[in-house]
Structure 1
């Protein structure tokens, strides 16, 4: 379990020069083979597929939510499930809840598991895997979802929801395990997992909206300081870059049919380096100035010139 109280620690893994940290984390989430093989076995460090299980827990403030959301191309954003850590209904006078011991821990110990001396760098065999079954109607739903994703147009499945069914399956299994059932999960587990995923989507959309507002306020603050402190060259340069990006966005939308483009289509027509650094800031300025609109849909964000 990778546990980081601050998302900045996690983000740094992907921002190092020539880093493959995010790609390796994506592979770890789905239990793929990790590591690198050298000529010498002694210097090779690998974890074979399904020899391990991995998860990550991050503390993310809304103003830094883009550190996860911006990894939509790599697939990290699709593997994250968002849960609010705040509440307007918290009672400060309520007694502290004591952690309870999980009543089914002994069952795990009694299960037939592979010997402890198995080498993790050796391929797993079927007898070492724990197979979880689930109802056929749910299997049909999962297969239908996969079929939609395989279409050229992604079947209307939003890119950021590409792994939604996989994450729901994992929560269904977790609910079964919590209840002491280790061979299968039920439709009730699936429904409970659906409640989690609905909360996830609502929280994610809230985080996106809050992140945009906070980054927009930061941008306006920076612009004000740039006007007052013209000697601060870095701020002035960034402001110019944001303006350049904003003008480019307006030109591309103006040339598009109907004055509209999806987020990915728009980014592909712009300077890649500037997109990475200034696209979100430029969009925030244009929306704030009333020059464009940003509309969320299943297929992603659609931008329209006004």
Structure 2
């Protein structure tokens, strides 16, 4: 079982100041942010027209869209090749606060062009994530039928291979994901980390029908998870492996929902999920941003710059957001400084939510530690009190034994037992033994007599 000390030790460093429950939480995307782009305004209006939290719809739309776009679309910054635009996001809030209804609005907002798009699938295993892209196809063997009704036609065989390239996963309760990921032998956490950056998925098995291989860069995948605050802690605890760093975080509560709902604006008509590119398309970044990312990466790799563990993927996360913002703004393949500024705003909001969760987890762990310590102290006090009560009882009984056996001829155990109160009788033998040990009485068989030679 994990101890409180282990929980505290596993948590990342907490921010200097974090909001207490009930205080106004930072981490919400501002009205100015939504006003910055028509497509952002569209998302906010769509959310509020249905009484849904805007941030949940925004991040789930971003995640769903990232799984819908062509895998040929990649971000190019000059670092580590062409970057996948796969987006993972998590909404945090109490039960019934709009996590599920907020993300479901993304299905009404952006409609897929690809009929093979795997939309909102649940996830159970790492193998299941790879399987969503797999299928069975007829593959030519190079031979032809020599006779029969198929004479002259190619001979084919059933082969399992990647047949899909786009998918979106929705996990209604993040605790389920965390529990599955912690099972012995589970590949879920590792697969999610690989999928977030577009690495190869699947596994090889002895039997061909169970072998899965999804090539790196050959798929687009978005993921959205709903968490209650306490159930987000296991994912945050996984910082050493790099899992929580690959997520955008948002609150599922929205204090800006108006009293009078605006009109439903309809689905977004033009979005990058409709770009079904057959060839490579690079989303390019301005020279200043490329240089900045390069200098940061080289400084880290040289050991000159140390970055907080949870910020290990900050640059990549902002690259993904900025590239998607450019694509959402008229299908541009050139990221602007404005796109980058908006991405930094989103990352700052995400970090505020994440840091508040870390701080909350530390408070809860500290409270659990204090409760455990208090319980231990209380137990020790109870033991001490009970021991003192027993000691006082025994001293009283010893005096009774000595007094009663001082009668001429001493007394029997039976007489002594009858002379005691009912609640004292179970302790008679122990009291007599203690009196004998102190050389106050002499015990012979069933008879107790005073020790006249005892020192006074």
Interval containing the TM-score (normalised by the shorter chain): 0.5 to 0.7
How many Å separate the matches in 2 of 1:202 and 1:180? 30
Which residue is equivalent to 1:184?
Answer: 334
How many Å separate the matches in 1 of 2:225 and 2:231? 11
Alignment check: 8 A CA contact 1:65 1:208 kept: no
How many Å separate the matches in 2 of 1:100 and 1:228? 62
Stretch deviating more after TM superposition (184-193 or 140-149): 140-149
Taking only aligned residues, the RMSD between alpha carbons, in angstroms, comes to 2.6
Which residue is equivalent to 1:103?
Answer: 269
Alignment check: 8 A CA contact 2:175 2:232 kept: no
Alignment check: 8 A CA contact 1:149 1:162 kept: no
Which residue is equivalent to 1:144?
Answer: 295
Which residue is equivalent to 2:234?
Answer: 67
Q: Which has the higher helix share?
A: 1
The total of aligned residue pairs comes to 213
Which residue is equivalent to 1:206?
Answer: 356
2:260 maps to 1:94: yes
In structure 2, which of residues 170, 178, 181 is the aligned counterpart of residue 11 of structure 1?
A: 178
How many Å separate the matches in 2 of 1:218 and 1:58? 27
Cα shift readout 1:161-183 (whole Å, capped 9, x = no counterpart):
11101000111112112212242
How many Å separate the matches in 2 of 1:82 and 1:20? 23
The TM-score, its normalising length taken from structure 2, stands at 0.43
Query: Which structure 2 residues correspond to residues 221-260 of structure 1 after superposition, within 5 A?
Result: 221=371
Alignment check: 8 A CA contact 2:239 2:310 kept: yes
- Where 1:82 maps in the other structure, the secondary structure is strand
After superposition, the Cα gap between the structure-2 partners of 1:220 and 1:100, relative to the gap in structure 1 and judged at 3 Å, is farther
Point out where structure 2 has 5 or more consecutive residues left out of the alignment: 1-167, 381-456
- Where 1:168 maps in the other structure, the secondary structure is helix
2:317 maps to 1:161: no
In structure 2, which of residues 208, 218, 234 is the aligned counterpart of residue 51 of structure 1?
A: 218
Point out where structure 1 has 5 or more consecutive residues left out of the alignment: 115-126, 231-306
How many Å separate the matches in 2 of 1:96 and 1:11? 37
How many Å separate the matches in 2 of 1:131 and 1:203? 31
Which residue is equivalent to 1:133?
Answer: 284
- Where 1:113 maps in the other structure, the secondary structure is coil
2:338 maps to 1:195: no
After superposition, the Cα gap between the structure-2 partners of 1:183 and 1:157, relative to the gap in structure 1 and judged at 3 Å, is same
Q: Which has the higher strand share?
A: 2
User: How much does 1:58 deviate?
Assistant: 1.7
